[in-house]
Amino acid sequence: MSDKIKLSKEEVLHLAKLAGLTLTEAEIEKNSAQLAETIDYIQNLDELKTDGVAPTNSVVDLSNVTFEDGTKNTRGLTQVEATANGKNVKENAFAVDRMM
């Protein structure tokens, strides 16, 4: 493994700006150490042997889940079917307690 990463104050402030954060001096020091640790951990991936592994963006076998215009969606549920097993249903909708 290579030397540990050290992020400068300017780099931490730049990242904070991108994230819309305002940091105190203590937070800059803390985040500098934590970000460096995170980068160091992620660099472990460079040690993996990935020759012959195809790039992927998903580990599950998904196919197109849309359907052509004009065809009937047979996978969807009606409102009655969707609420059929609900504990508290009123007028084909889930009824919940008032939130505010």
**pLDDT tens figures, 34-62:** 999 999 989 888 888 988 888 877 777 77
Average pLDDT, the chain: 86
> Domain spanning 9-47: which CATH class is it, in words?
mainly alpha
Measured CA to CA, the distance from residue 18 to residue 37 in angstroms comes to: 20
Measured CA to CA, the distance from residue 32 to residue 6 in angstroms comes to: 8
Give residue 3's pLDDT.
67
Confidence band of 1 (pLDDT split at 50, 70, 90): very low
